[in-house]
Amino acid sequence: MSRIDTLPPLRQVIASHQLSARKSLGQNFLLDLNLTAKIARQAGDLSACDVLEIGPGPGGLTRGLLAEGARRVLAVEKDARCIAALQEIAAAYPGRLEVIEGDALQIDPLAHLTPPVRIAANLPYNIGTELLVRWLTPPDWPPFWQSLTLMFQREVADRIVAQPGSKAYGRLAILAQWRSDARIAMSLPPDAFTPPPKVSSAVVHLTALPRPRFEADAATLSRVVAAAFNQRRKMLRAALKGLAPDIEDRLHSAGLKPTDRAERVPLEGFCALARALDA
């Protein structure tokens, strides 16, 4: 197997730093450095970018990103046991890797990043969706990032790229496709990870659009789709009745029928409804 750098193999790193995987931290590690370099390539040209990586663990993807030429990587890791291993990578790539020990849900990484920024991560499954939704729903657009290259459970990846009428269509599809181009870039079987998770995974690549596809307020749109898909089989007038006392009128003025069901309403319809609710 070819080498992407001169650091020790990841199995050796894990053994010497005693990084046995912890389920509570969503730890399923990628140990094949050729695979992590391939994932890093899905993020595009990194040579002029800072890359934010959440959950570097023992550093497989971190090494892929650096070997693929990332200008700088900022890696945020909650597990204190991983920090020494990550510092060894930082020493091998002087000035190009900054490691922050902390919880990605609590830390604001912006002060540590210089634009342009791309985000790449093999996300801990328990916080992956929450982080994605945060990155997709800031009040202003464009966001601080140009692209997101993120590993998810296959079922979550399918929800991000889903089209109206499909079972996977819902809140994630709408929020992702409203302001970005989203596609599945790679599929990975469980045995690509150590330990193998129960389900398959996929890398999703999202590119931020310069402007949202349709005008809407992010907070209102989030509220509408959360309510609509919370009860996806119900008619819109029932699912959304808590949002406004005159919801039927608002649905009409958005060009929607009160008897429509959320899973058939396209992105444009939800944005029109968000505008009608804010009018």
Interface ranges with ligand SAM (CB under 6 A): 25-30, 54-57, 60-61, 76-79, 82, 103-105, 122, 124, 127
The residue number whose beta carbon is nearest to ligand SAM equals 55
Q: Shortest approach of ligand SAM to residue 76 CB, angstroms?
A: 5
10: enclosing H helix or E strand = helix 10-16
Q: Shortest approach of ligand SAM to residue 54 CB, angstroms?
A: 5
Look up residue 102 and give its amino acid. G
Two structure tokens written together for 246: 């005159």
Q: Shortest approach of ligand SAM to residue 107 CB, angstroms?
A: 8
The residue among 56 and 269 lying less far from ligand SAM, judged by its C-beta, is 56
Look up residue 23 and give its amino acid. K
Select from 270, 274, 262 the least CA-distant residue to 233. Answer: 262
Q: Shortest approach of ligand SAM to residue 198 CB, angstroms?
A: 14
Q: Shortest approach of ligand SAM to residue 158 CB, angstroms?
A: 19
The residue among 63 and 275 lying less far from ligand SAM, judged by its C-beta, is 63
Report DSSP state, residue 58.
T
Residue 31 dihedral angles phi and psi, to the nearest 5°:
-110, -10
The residue among 106 and 140 lying less far from ligand SAM, judged by its C-beta, is 106
Answer for the pair 276, 258: CB distance below 8 angstroms, yes or no. Answer: no
The CA distance from 278 to 220, in Å, is 8
**Adjacent-strand bridge partners of 1:** none
**Adjacent-strand bridge partners of 72:** 50
The residue among 127 and 225 lying less far from ligand SAM, judged by its C-beta, is 127
The residue among 122 and 180 lying less far from ligand SAM, judged by its C-beta, is 122
